[in-house]
Homo-oligomer: A and B are copies of this chain.
C-alpha cells in the first residue's frame, strides 16, 4: 500500500530519461518506451498529460517528440506526481473543504495530515535532476533541511 501508480512511475522515468539526454532537442515517446521497456501507448498518454500540465513541451512531426519545458533542476517529483495522479492525500476522506463527515471526532486526520505534508515536502525537495544523478549528496542535505523547516 501507499505506493504511487505505475503511471507516476513511468512519468518519473521518462522525465529522468529526458534530463539525461539534454543534447537531443526532442525525444519521441517511442524512444523512451523502448529504452525502459514500458508500454508505448500508455507512456504516450502520460506524456500528453505532462504536456498539458506544462512540464513538457511537445513537437509533432518528424524528429519531433518531447522535451523538458523547464530546467530539470526546477521540476520536482511532486509536480510530476501531482500532474499525473492528481492531488493525493493520506487520509481517504480528505476531500475538498467539507472534510470528514464521519459522525463525531475523526481526530486521526489531524496527525495524518501532518504526515501528508511531510511526504509532499520530501517529494517537493526532489528534482528531476536528482533522479538523473545517482546518489546525489546535495539533495540529501537539502531534504533534511526541508524537513526540519516543515516543523513537523
Contacts and interface: CB of A to CB of B under 8 A. Distances in A.
A36 B1 contact: no
B152 A143 contact: yes
B148 A148 contact: yes
A144 B144 contact: no
- Size category of the A interface is 35 or more
Contacts of A77: 111-112
Interface string A77-95: 1000100011011111100
Interface in A107-152: 107-108, 110-112, 114-115, 118-119, 122-123, 126, 130-131, 134-136, 139-140, 143-144, 147-148, 151-152
Interface of A: 1-6, 8-9, 12-13, 16, 35-38, 77, 81, 85-86, 88-93, 102-104, 106-108, 110-112, 114-115, 118-119, 122-123, 126, 130-131, 134-136, 139-140, 143-144, 147-148, 151-152
